[in-house]
Amino acid sequence: MCPPEYFAVEYAINPWMDTATPVDSELAVKQWHGLRETLLGLGHTVHELAPEPGLPDMVYAANGAFVVDGTVYGARFRHPQRAAEAAAHRAFHEATGARLVAPAEINEGEGDFAYLPRAYGGLVLAGHGFRTEPAAHAEAQEALGRPVVSLRLVDPRFYHLDTALAALDDGNVAYFPQAFSVAAQRVLAQLFPDAIVADEVDAFAFGLNLVSDGRHVVLNNEASGMAAKVAAAGYLPVPVELSELKKGGGSVKCCVAELRD
């Protein structure tokens, strides 16, 4: 995670970012701390990535790398405003002695990659269409030695995979079908017949931008319909308030980079 410090960024790369709506930075920091406390309270270890001046989107820590079983596939951001974030993530992982793979292709880390260790022996799902290049999917497969399934995103409001699909546990997902191409919808239905299928209301409330440890599903408190669906499927929904972070186009998952170690 990365504590929020700067939010007043202006660039039209994300339809959720309405720069006419000011962000209450104090409240944003408070909400971020609430998320941190929630994860700690559930027994997880939380490392903080120090924010850097000039990198307002660093709080969306999910985008800086993608880690699978000790191998870190680095990010290479599409937009110059975020480019320098990749080095901060790299430095963090270097210090842990992890195996690092530097990317040649544009990709935004866990924003567009999800990992399901127990689906088909270990499966990576990867989004493209807005940020990550399809060539990065092949590169990730080479780096990580896991099959990577490419899924095309078609709605700019769901510009990262993690706005439209989430790993609920080691083997199952929740997703919003309409964010994907018809072919990708078919692929998902084939791979995950037991998936939780979200509707438009769930997806617009950022209900899929969640973090799950396989039992607790931490998600945006506005996504009450999604909370009910995960509860009906046997998980424990843990709502958190992140309204200020949503103004920057992200929620729970965007703020958390999973280390999987």
**Site residues (vs ligand ARG, CB under 6 A):** 13-14, 17, 57, 60, 62-63, 82, 111, 160, 162-163, 248-250, 254
Q: In the 8-state DSSP scheme, what is residue 126?
A: E
255 has catalytic annotation: no
> Which of residues 79 and 186 has its CB atom nearest to ligand ARG in the complex?
79
Q: In the bound complex, what is the minimum distance in angstroms from residue 83's beta carbon to ligand ARG?
A: 11
Tokens linked to 205: 């409330």
Q: In the complex with ligand ARG, which residue's Cβ is closer, 160 or 229?
A: 160
Gyration radius (Cα) of the chain, Å: 17
Q: Is 216 a catalytic residue?
A: no
Catalytic entry in 89, 93, 128, 160: 160
Burial class for 159, CB neighbours closer than 10 Å (0-12, 13-18, 19+): buried
Q: Which is nearer to ligand ARG, 71 or 251 (CB)?
A: 251
Shortest Å distance, C-beta 81 to ligand ARG? 8
Residue nearest ligand ARG, CB atom distance: 254
For residue 96, the minimal CB distance to ligand ARG (Å) is: 21
Kindly list the strands in the beta sheet with 211-212, ordered across the sheet, starting from the edge strand earlier in the chain.
Answer: 211-212, 216-220, 236-240
157 secondary structure, DSSP code: G
Rounded-to-integer distance, Cα 234 and Cα 244, Å: 29
Catalytic residue annotation: 160, 254
